[in-house]
């Protein structure tokens, strides 16, 4: 999941941890354009749940699927 800034990455990571969702904060791959240098890697099966959580907390994001 891509975010606009590091603050939103950390906010999303904290939210996911509170809900028991595993996520990894990693640098955005070079071939992906992003305003922020960090992103979250989550289980693809959790995209919908994570998207709802982020929407409910007004955190803007984009999803990039590496598969």
Residue 15 within any structural domain of the chain: yes
Residue 39 within any structural domain of the chain: yes
d(CA 59, CA 18): 15
Residue 52 within any structural domain of the chain: yes
Q: Residue 40's domain is classified under what CATH number?
A: 3.30.70
pLDDT tens digit string along 1-57? 999 899 999 999 999 999 999 999 999 887 776 566 889 999 999 999 999 999 999
Query: How many domains are there within the chain?
Result: 1
Residue 36 within any structural domain of the chain: yes
- Please tell me the pTM assigned to this model: 0.85
Q: 48 lies in which domain range?
A: 6-56
pLDDT score recorded for residue 33: 66
How many C-alpha atoms does 55 have within 13 Å on its Cβ side?
Answer: 8
């Amino acid at each position: 999941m891509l975010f606009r800034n590091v603050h939103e990455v950390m906010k999303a990571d904290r939210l996911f941890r509170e809900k028991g969702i595993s996520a990894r904060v990693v640098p955005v791959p070079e071939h992906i354009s992003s305003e922020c240098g960090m992103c979250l890697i989550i289980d693809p099966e959790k995209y919908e749940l994570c998207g709802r959580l982020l929407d409910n907390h007004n955190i803007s994001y984009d999803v990039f699927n590496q598969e």
